[in-house]
Amino acid sequence: VTRSLPMTLPENYGLAFYLQGMAPINNLEFKLVDAGGDNVWWYNQRNFEFPVEWSKIGIKKRHISFAWGPTNDRELKSFNRIEIIIASATGGKGFIVLDDLTFQKLEPVGAALPQPIATATTSADENHRVEMAIDGDIANQWRSAPASEAQEVVLDLGSVQEFGGLVIDWDQKDYARSFQVLTCSNHDAWDSVYQVTASKGGRSYIPLKEAEARYIKLRLTASARGQGYGIGNIAVKEIAFSAAPEAVYYEMAKDLPRGMLPKYFYQEQSYWTISGVNNDQREALINEEGMVEVDKSSFSIEPFVTCQYPAIVHGESDNQPKLPAMERQFYTWHDVARQQSLEQDELPIPSVTWNHPEWQMNVRVFSAGEPEQSSLYLTYHLKNISDHDLEGCLHLAIRPFQVNPPWQFLNWPGGVSKIKAIRRQGQEIVVNDAKRVIMVTPCDGFGAATFDQGDITTSLAEGSLPAQESVRDHLGYASAALAYKYELRPGQSKRIDVIVPFYDQFHGELPISAKAIERIHRQVRNFWIDKIQTVEFKLPKLHSLSPGDLSSTHAAMSISPEKLIRTVHSNLAYILINRDGAGIQPGSRSYERSWIRDGSLTSAALLRLGVIDEVRDFLDWYSSFQFANGKVPCVVDLRGPDPVPENDSHGQLIFALRQYYLFSHDRDFL
């Protein structure tokens, strides 16, 4: 949709329009184009969920960035027209309706939010005034009158301000089980912007994306003990607090013990590898900590281990006997030494092992099945390597996090992946009313939590599971966990198997035994051995080097021939798994596109490794996207061929065709 609207822009501004529709998730692009049509600024909302009801889409100056064009001055000072575009992410079809486009000049953005002024319905006494809830010291508390059930706390920011949400520290006992957050700009018309119905107290994180108001009201409607409310601190957060789905978790990572959240919430990269079947379009990821992303842009399953250790509790006097008790220890990826491996050091069957002085936990993943009917198999082994009995619980947490980090954003943005609903249904866990987690090994317990009840790991660390087995979350940040109890003598181990179908149905027989899974595992292993061990390598033997020879070149040459061969074999498997159908592509997530440049060079490598059919299929498929005028597209993805010119794409295709002929002598194909 294009509208001509020439405009010179003030120092700060905002645009808005209303939108509703029935459409699948795709990219919503808002573009501002200059008079020549060459320079474009945009606000690109990837994987946008189109609202069924009328919703206001607000766009501020800070949202708009330079997209492309020849200009050297990338600051947007004026534009000639507006374009609103739906760009394919998941594809499909539908419709949207737009209305009421507005432009508003805004005041310059202030340096920081002002200190609010607080008022409350009641205060218990002079030592617990409402001002104490905003002084930044959680030891100083506001407490309401103990007899009143409904209370209100109002914050006045002095003028209309933009902010990103709230962080509320509650009294340990007298917290609000249910409350509302309301905002307004004139103290008359209050809008309800957030509602919590089953809080557990502690610290509440309230993300309010693009909030704008002068007044913020907390309406407290149910106290935990019916004896009023206590608040240690209310912090009004800057816009960045909720600017992206990951933003609130960055804040939580500062408060939670390290290891409770994935590494990228600590701004650290975690390495990962892939699991999938040949010729399929679905793949899983497992990172170096043992967290498994079960499908593209999907949720993850992550292990946590609780151990019970004997402790001594003293009686009230020395004459009383000492009573045995148990101390609980909760372990995350941060608390253990970790080791990663591939089966036979080269097959695409990865494992991650947690090593603790008294126990060892291993997670292995592999994928099996025909293309478009495949499934992911996860096997966990927990072994007692100590000289005494161990007991505790292995938890498998299901959380709205991808393995792919948020800074990987091309095509499939990483980071948070929404879980709007999760429930137990017999021996299955159903996520978002679609994706199934099949418990081959029945669990000993299952619990789910909304975001407002805290991440599931906070319950696990406390030694409990939420009582509810089904939740829906208004933010899409629900989490849950399967519990598997263990009692292991020295040398004993416990095995847990889980299957996640990549597609709607599991194409196999249920129930399935561990023995049957191992039979499937052997079939997968043998397939990949035959698929990647296609040529014989003859390399010179490794000679020992003197200290004076340890230059970078010599160091590279000092890798054993066996390791070099295994590296080649592994990467051949990764190339085949990363393919979507016939399309050769360099990755499964951010680089899930088929470039003719990459495809031609990869094809040359595959041919030298004896892989012929897959190269022919790729060339046959890619050639079908050649334009009517003979132009060869630089890249093809879900949206089809990209019209952006790449002047050597023709030569790259011809190079690949010639390479194929040299190794196949297939004149009929040419």
Q: What is the DSSP string of 277-314?
A: -TT-S-EEEEETTS-EE-STT--EEEEEEEEEEEEEE-
pLDDT of residue 318: 47
326 pLDDT band (50/70/90 cuts)?
low
Q: What is the pLDDT of residue 316?
A: 45
Res 313: pLDDT: 45
Work out the burial of residue 449: count CB atoms within 10 Å of its CB; fewer than 13 is exposed, 13-18 middle, 19 or more buried.
buried
Q: What is the pLDDT of residue 639?
A: 77
What does the pLDDT average to over 429-456?
97
> At 111, is the pLDDT very low, low, confident or very high (cuts 50, 70, 90)?
confident
> Which of 31-45, 466-480, 630-644 has the lowest average pLDDT?
630-644
pLDDT band at 546 (very low <50, low <70, confident <90, very high): low
Write out the two tokens for 389. Answer: 């009995």
Q: What is the pLDDT of residue 548?
A: 57
Contacts of 72 (CB under 8 A, 6+ apart): none
Cβ-count burial 219-246 (b if 16+ within 10 Å, e if not): bbbbbbeebbbbbbbbbbbebebbbebb
| One fold for 2-105 and 117-243 | yes
State the CATH class of domain 263-515: mainly beta
**Confidence band for 555, pLDDT divided at 50, 70 and 90:** low
How far apart CA 209 and CA 45 sit, in angstroms, is 14
* 340-349, 491-500, 510-519, 520-529: least confident range: 510-519
In this predicted structure, what is the pLDDT of residue 315?
46
Based on its alpha-carbon atoms, the radius of gyration of the chain, rounded to whole angstroms, reads 29
Mean pLDDT of 647-658: 93
pLDDT at residue number 329 = 94
Which stretch of DSSP H or E encloses residue 660? Answer: helix 649-664
Fold classification of 2-105 is Jelly Rolls (2.60.120)
How far apart, in whole angstroms, are the C-alpha atoms of residue 322 and residue 328?
19
More confident residue, 553 or 577: 577
The pLDDT of residue 611 is above 90: yes
- The CATH code of the domain at 117-243 is 2.60.120.260
Query: What are 219-248's pLDDT values in tens digits?
Result: 999 999 999 999 999 999 999 999 989 999
* Average of per-residue pLDDT across 447-453: 97
> Domain coordinates of the chain in residue numbers?
2-105, 117-243, 263-515, 547-664
* Number of helices followed by number of strands (H, E) in the chain: 8, 35
* pLDDT band, residue 137 (cuts 50/70/90): very high
For residue 401, give the DSSP letter: B
State residue 327's pLDDT score: 81
Mean pLDDT of 203-220: 95
Tokens in use for 147?
A: 């007899």
